[in-house]
Structure 1
Amino acid sequence: MFCTNTSSYLISDVAEKMVYKERLIGTHFFSPADITPLIEVVPSAYTSQERATEIMQFLQSVCKKPILLKREIEGFVANRLQSALAREAMSLVEKGIVTAEELDFIAKMSLGVRLANTGPLEQRDINGLDTHYAIVNYVYPTLENSTKPLTIHHAKIGANQFGMKSNQGFYDWSSIDKQQYLAQKEKTLIDIIKIVQ
């Protein structure tokens, strides 16, 4: 058995030059890997069912919560959801609707707390699929649908603003104690996971 922790690449592409392609499977851990229980298990076009079953059993035995995807897709599931949300978030900031700080506050205080307790499709059922259908007919046409990085994202990369690692991104990280900041984020994440498990 050979596992890759890639978060986006197709497992079949990774396996392409391997001799025993059927032994490779994707096990996408989420950062921080020692805390976050979810692991996306992604079989390639070559992965044997036996290997998929083995890795699922192993991950469950070490108290992880693996989900076996039915087939591979670029970005898997979580990163596709995260990418769609990030694209819309950047678009709203780029259009001057809100600042980065305001957007993050809105996301944390609405979607963040809700998603910790209720998944997006579960929420649609609670609200009513008919209600949601009426809303999306109005909203979907206005959502960001660019297939390339947005101008705001491209500009930050061009200015070497990579986020925390360069001390500048959507936020100024230069005066932040990054170790303390990340330690607090991990503590909060642990508390949330304890509540929602």
Structure 2
Amino acid sequence: MIKTIAVLGAGTMGHAIAETFAMNGYPVNLYETYEPMRNSVKGVIEEELKFLVENDFIPEKNIQESLDRITMFSDLKEAVCDVDYVIEATPEKIELKQELFAQLDELCKPSAILASNTSSLALMEMVSNISEERKKRTMVCHWYNPAHLMPIAELSFFGNMDEDIFKEVEELYQKAGKQTVKVLKDVPGLVANRIQQGVAREVFSLIEEGVASPKDIDKALKFGPAFRYATTGQLEVADMGGLDIWCTVGDNLLSVMDNRKEANPILREKVKEGRLGMKSGEGFFNYPADKINEIKNEFNKKLIIQLKTSQNYIEK
């Protein structure tokens, strides 16, 4: 049974992964090499926990309890030597991850399970420099951003590990409040990101063709397909609508929809112009600097509402 955890990297994903496990009662070693981030990240986590209290998601006493369960480390060996489960959330560079996993193979106890938060790099390539025995205890455990609010966790089962090891990790995530997806094949993007990119490709194409404004395209998604997707999967929707109907509509529409194999030119142009979205103040929409925190909070409030509601219908 997994009792102790180490998270490597205290950035956007790493700190929220640590926060999630700590909120759910697990002691967490949070490793970060960059000193300013290491010194400030608990403050970031505290503010996020306060936001959860303000929105009636956790009781106030959980703030300090959660913070007390997180211990900061600058030394990798000290952070990982005694833990049961290690998940890295470092930059998506294959050489970096190969080197890191090789270090973990040497530093961690033989029973430790090693994981990566990646959704784009192949597992066996990342762990190519570790022992064959250790490879049997490695996996991808992919979270969605913001990790402390999004309930999904994609867990790999690619044939390198025994079922009982997988179930041990699956139980850990379920106890941490996650809805787990068992991914059976190592494909780029895993499951959720591939579905998301399929939707995004057509959304960007509709903008490119001038079919509707960005605001109305987002409205069509939010109050059309996504309204059902919040509670119902695509395959359930297809079954309810009738597979004969879906087959006919597919024949009529798919041949005229976007099938390109690279990012839409609209995206490339915006990136070239430095219009990167919220991080630059403008993307498809505008984000005034003095309103960004308010916009982020409103976004997260909606996720909390969905998360609360989802607890009434999710599979136990």
Which ranges in structure 1 are unaligned for 5 or more consecutive residues?
none
Q: Does 1:119 align with 2:244?
A: no
TM-score (norm 1): 0.92
Aligned to 1:15: 127
Aligned mate of 1:174, from 281, 288, 296: 288
Contact 1:43 1:52 in 2 (8 A): yes
Aligned mate of 1:95, from 173, 187, 209: 209
Q: What's the offset of the Cα at 1:36? A: 1.7
Residue type at the aligned position of 1:138: N
TM-score (norm 2): 0.59
Residue 140 of structure 2 aligns to a residue whose secondary structure is strand
Aligned mate of 1:4, from 92, 97, 116: 116
Q: What's the offset of the Cα at 1:120? A: 0.9
Residue type at the aligned position of 1:16: S
Aligned to 2:304: 190
Residue type at the aligned position of 1:54: E
Residue 68 of structure 1 aligns to a residue whose secondary structure is strand
Contact 1:37 1:65 in 2 (8 A): yes
Count how many residue pairs are aligned between Structure 1 and Structure 2. 197
Distance, in Å, in 2 between the alignment partners of 1:155 and 1:37 is: 33
Distance, in Å, in 1 between the alignment partners of 2:121 and 2:284 is: 26
Q: What's the offset of the Cα at 1:176? A: 5.7
After superposition, residues 21-60 of structure 1 pair within 5 angstroms as 21-44=135-158, 46-60=160-174
Aligned Cα root-mean-square deviation (Å): 1.6
Q: Percent of counterpart pairs with the same letter?
A: 27
Distance, in Å, in 1 between the alignment partners of 2:233 and 2:158 is: 26
Aligned mate of 2:196, from 56, 79, 82: 82
Residue 220 of structure 2 aligns to a residue whose secondary structure is helix
Aligned to 2:70: none
Residue type at the aligned position of 1:147: K
- Point out the more displaced range, 74-83 or 174-183: 174-183
Q: Determine which structure has greater relative contact order: mean sequence separation of CA pairs < 8 Å that are 6+ residues apart, divided by chain length.
A: 1
Q: What's the offset of the Cα at 1:44? A: 4.3
Residue type at the aligned position of 2:116: T
After superposition, residues 144-163 of structure 1 pair within 5 angstroms as 144-163=258-277
Aligned to 2:96: none
Contact 1:39 1:65 in 2 (8 A): yes
Superposed CA deviations along residues 9-53 of structure 1, whole A, max 9, x for unmatched, are 222222223332222211111111112221010234534434322
Residue type at the aligned position of 1:49: E
Aligned mate of 2:243, from 122, 129, 142: 129
Which ranges in structure 2 are unaligned for 5 or more consecutive residues?
1-112, 312-316
> Cα 1:58–1:168, aligned 2, differ >3 Å: closer, same or farther?
same
Distance, in Å, in 1 between the alignment partners of 2:265 and 2:308 is: 39
- Point out the more displaced range, 89-98 or 18-27: 18-27
